[in-house]
Each structure stands twice: as structure tokens, then as C-alpha cells.
Amino acid sequence: MRISTLSLRSSLFVLLFAFLFSSRSAAAVGGETFPAGHWAYDIIDQLVARGYLVQLYDVAKPYERMDVARAILATDKTLIEDRVTLWLFNKLEQELSEELDWLRDEAFPDGALRIGLRPEFVGDKRNGNFPQLQFEQEQGNTFGPRFRNRFRFTLHFGENIVLYNNSMLQNERIFTLLPAKKWGGLTGFTEQSFVAYHSKSVRLKFGRDYVQWGYGRNSLITNFTAGPLDQLSFQFVSRAARFTYFLAQLDKYDDRFGWRADGNIERFFAAIRADFNLFAGNVRLGLFQGTLKSGTYRHLDFRHVNPFIFTYGEQFEETNPLIGGDFSVYAFNVNFYGSLTVDDWQVDKKEQVDLEPNLWAGTLGVRAPNVLKAFKIYGTDAFIELTRCRYRTFHNRFIEQRLTVNNAGRGVVRANPLAHPLGTDFLSMEVGVSHWFKKFLRVSTNVLAIAKGEGNLYGPFLTPWMDRDANGNFIYNLRDGYDEPIPFVTGNRKVEGRYAWTVGVFYQPNNSFNAELNLTQVWRRNANNVAGLNKSDFQIFFRTMFEIQPVFNFL
């Protein structure tokens, strides 16, 4: 019997809510998450690098507000020596005042409503693309300022259920990750919208939210820059271990341009990860896998959506599987972290097709807080991060199985990479330093260097190891093998050298107002892999934001 996609979605929806309202496990209120780009992420990362918030699973974002509040209450702040760290805690405590009060008093309202308004003025001036992104199409921008407003509301139904919506209305020409509907010079879309259930050890979510996995500045499997995903997810949580699963529906591939002759193609991405929080949070290990499945007018395959199956070894049709792991170690007052994702690995070299290079991406990084502590100067943090991604990683022979969220075939401007925002075929290094001069003022600078090959997620999947000479013989053989440098170019093309130096200022006199200014000089050598084509661009980004978020308790 053939099960339609619609009926399967309905079944999943019914099962989810049957569980919600039939569960009798101990409750643990939570569910509301920080939206991508919220200032709290930087504060949390700085505290984690200092060795605090050890109960927080910092590998998987977005962070839930209640999880951060619990980690704050579990921290002994009496041993903190420097006032900068106390400033950081104070900022989070002001932001999470309602959650902290609920937890301290162990008294949760039967119902509560939080309404939030975040009006912003954004100015963005640049001639070329952002250096840290690699979309299929992108244009420059002229300085505004332009207006953007987020409206959000959260309904708490007792201790178990949260209903959350975060929608946006803004002027055109403001950079956005999502295709947005236009209304006379304005664009709008819903950024987050979900219902979440929490018990003591089980969490479920149905709707739209961001997903980013990994300890680095960017993920090697799911990244904030992909935009929010429409998903069904659940977690099993304990103090030392956590199991996470989500199933997301990506945009269809619309075959109006002749890539495939069999019409619209459904695309689903399922991923799981297991995390272990060991040695009082000083050692954290994670394992993950993901599978992108596509098919023409096909229902979901239960083998694909099974959250407990090891999918990398399964011979599914029309799938692109990935596996990987990551780690974070806090030692000697320094945080070391790394991640590795394997897209395709040739174990046997028995046939010509097996000469395809192993496809992988990896990140190594170090975060060091208070690097000037020996001189009695506190609040200076530094980091260095290296990322390497081999050509064709996250790519695929079939366009609908490439790790992109949407596609240009539907008129979407960008085909957002699902994993790293640079797509594929690159080597990057980023070094940064920041310093808090006052509780309300932080100044930072960072240098980003990228070597970018010609590989991307949008062009054809090339197989040069299968090339033949004029006589019809293979140019490469199993004895000598085939290899490619990272990054990779062909013919007379050159590796693009991309360099960006940014100076930033973050001003936050209170939690209801903050402003940010970033000045970036970008240099491109052999731009777009064209030998001798050099470009430079001075980019300005300015944002000022007000936030109002009253909470109404209905007892």
C-alpha cells in the first residue's frame, strides 16, 4: 500500500500530540530558544570558554532559554575573580530574569504570555559578496539605514508546553537568508514557529526553528546560515548524555529547467547525534549522522526517518549520507575543539570509479579567555580556527541531493548551503581578539583568510578520474591512483585568495538596547578563480536594536 507524504505528515503530527497530552512524566518547563544572531550567543560562548555553564550542551544550537538559566543557577559565582566574567553573567541574568525566578521559586505559572518587539535599523554598504559566505548569487548593497522589526510571542501552557512564533517585517535590500514575500518595498517571513513539549528527560518540537551542530564558528553538517528548517525533532536528555533527532523538509527541486525529466522532487534531511558531557563538563564528545533523501512524488521511507538506524551503511536509493564527530576539551584554562564530517570514503580500490578522492571536511580551533591575565588585564579573549573541506564534499552527482536548503529553480536568489556557508572546496583560517573595556563596550578585531577552489554546490559534479585519452584508455589507473590538492582548480584557473580584516564595536548600555558597528576590508586575489583578477572592497555593517519583552503570568 502506498502511503502519501501528506498522510505520513498527518500521522507524525497526530502521534506527536498524542504523546504530548498522554505523557505523565515529571515536567521541566522550557522550549523557547534564542533566535539566530542574538547577542546572548557571544556571551554564552565567552562563559563556556572560561569553563563555566558546564551543564549546558553548547554543541547544539539554538540554545533554549531555560537550559541557559539552569546552567547559570548551577554555577558557583563566588569563586569568580574578575569583574568582566561577572559582567557577562549579569547580562544573561537580566535577559533571563523570568526564567531564573521560576526556577528559584520552583513555581511555574499555569499559563504565561511573553510578547517581544525587536525594532532595528540596519545599514549595510558593500560592493561585493560577504567574504565568509558562498551563495550561488549575491549582490552588493548601498548604505541605508533600513528598518527591520521582529515580533514574537511565547505561550507557556503550564510547565509542559510552549507555543512560539517569531516573525519579521523589513525593508527590501536587507540581507536575509530566506526567500520573503514582498509588499510594496517591504519583505516579511516567519523566522521561527513551533510547539515544544518538555518533560524531565524527553523533549519534542514540531515546526520551524534553526539548527546548528558543532563547536566551531560554523558547522560541518547543519548551520544557522542555512536559515530555519521546518522540522520534527525530539531529544532524550540526562545530565551526562543526550540523544537528538530531527527530520526536516527542504525545498522541493522544481525541474522547470530540464535537470530531471520526472518533475518535482521532494527532499528530506534526517539527522541524529549522541552527546556525552564528561568529567564535570571539561570533556564533551559527540557523534552524528545525516541523510538527505530525495524522490519524485515519493513518500518518506521509514528506513530513512528511523532515528536509531545507522544509515551510512544502508543502500538507500537517492540518498546522500554523512557521518562525523566532534569534541570539546577544557584544559589549562583553554578550550580546544574540533569536528570531522565524512561525506564519502572509498574503502576499496577495486574499480576505476573507486579512484574518487575521499570527501571530508574538518575543523580545529582554540579559544583562550583572559589572555592578558598575567598583566592583571581581564576581558581579553582570543581564538584561532582552521577549517578544511575537500572538493565535492556536500556535493553530489544529482542536483537534488546536494546539501542546499533551497534552489534557484524556484526563483530563490540563493541556494543556501545546509552545512558550512562556504559550501565546498576551501581552506580557511580565522584569528580574532576581543576586549571588554566596560560592561557596556566591547571592541574586537579578526582576520579571515580563505583559499577557495573552483568547486561549489551549484556546478556539475566532475569526475576527472574517469577521463580517457585519445585511444580510449583511462588516464589514471588503480596502481598509481588519483589525487587532488585542497583547494582544487583545473586548467589555467587559479585558487582564489580571499582576505578580510574586520574591526567591530559592540555597545550595550542595557539589555533593552544594543548597537553594533563592523568595518571590514576585503581583498580578493584571482577573484572567481580568474588568474590576475584582483578586487578589493570596503564593507560597513551597522545595526542598532531595541527590545521589549514583557511577560504576563496567568495564574
Separation between Cα atoms, residue 44 and residue 224, nearest integer Å: 16
* 81 contact partners, CB below 8 Å, separation of at least 6: none
Q: At what angle do helices 40-49 and 83-95 cross, to 10 degrees?
A: 140
Q: What is the pLDDT of residue 255?
A: 56
Write out the H or E segment, with its range, that includes residue 181: strand 181-183
Could you tell me the pTM of the whole model?
A: 0.89
Which DSSP string corresponds to 270-335? EEEEEEEEETTTTEEEEEEEEEEEEEET-PPPHHHH-TTS-GGGS--TTEEEEEEEEEEEEETTEE
Separation between Cα atoms, residue 33 and residue 486, nearest integer Å: 37
335-341-347-350 Cα dihedral, nearest 10 degrees: -140
Cα–Cα nearest to 192, from 175, 211, 173, 174:
211
H helices of 1-75, in order, are 5-22, 40-49, 65-73
Write out the H or E segment, with its range, that includes residue 431: strand 426-438
Please state the separation of Cα 100 from the chain's center in Å: 27
Domain limits, the chain? 5-554
Q: What is the pLDDT of residue 93?
A: 95
- CA distance from start to end of the chain: 49
Separation between Cα atoms, residue 319 and residue 305, nearest integer Å: 12
Q: What is the pLDDT of residue 304?
A: 79
Please give the backbone phi and psi of residue 44, each rounded to the nearest 5 degrees, phi first. -60, -45
Separation between Cα atoms, residue 134 and residue 415, nearest integer Å: 10
* Span 290-342, pLDDT tens digits: 999 887 766 777 777 888 888 766 666 668 889 999 999 999 899 999 999 99
Indicate the fold that domain 5-554 takes in CATH. Porin (2.40.160)
C-alpha cell at 90: 549579569
β-pairing verdict for 181-183 and 202-209: unpaired
Separation between Cα atoms, residue 168 and residue 66, nearest integer Å: 24
56-62-66-70 Cα dihedral, nearest 10 degrees: 10
Distances (CA, A) of 255 to 9, 248, 410, 457: 24, 21, 9, 17
* Whole-angstrom Cα Rg for the chain: 24
Q: What is the pLDDT of residue 438?
A: 94
Amino acid (one-letter) located at 156:
H
Amino acid (one-letter) located at 540:
I
Q: What is the pLDDT of residue 182?
A: 78
C-alpha cell at 236: 532524550
pLDDT (tens digit, 0 to 9) for every residue of the chain, 555 residues total? 333 333 444 444 434 444 443 333 333 456 889 988 899 999 999 999 999 998 898 999 999 999 999 999 999 988 888 999 999 999 999 999 988 998 888 777 778 888 989 899 999 899 888 899 887 666 678 887 889 898 989 998 877 889 999 998 988 878 777 767 777 788 888 999 999 998 889 999 999 999 999 998 999 999 999 989 999 999 999 989 999 999 999 887 765 544 444 557 788 999 999 999 999 889 999 999 999 988 776 677 777 788 888 876 666 666 888 999 999 999 989 999 999 999 988 877 888 888 999 999 999 999 999 999 999 999 999 999 999 999 999 998 888 888 988 754 444 445 789 999 999 999 999 999 999 999 999 999 999 999 999 998 888 889 999 999 999 999 999 988 899 999 999 989 999 999 999 999 999 999 899 999 999 999 999 999 999 999 999 999 999 999 888 877 775
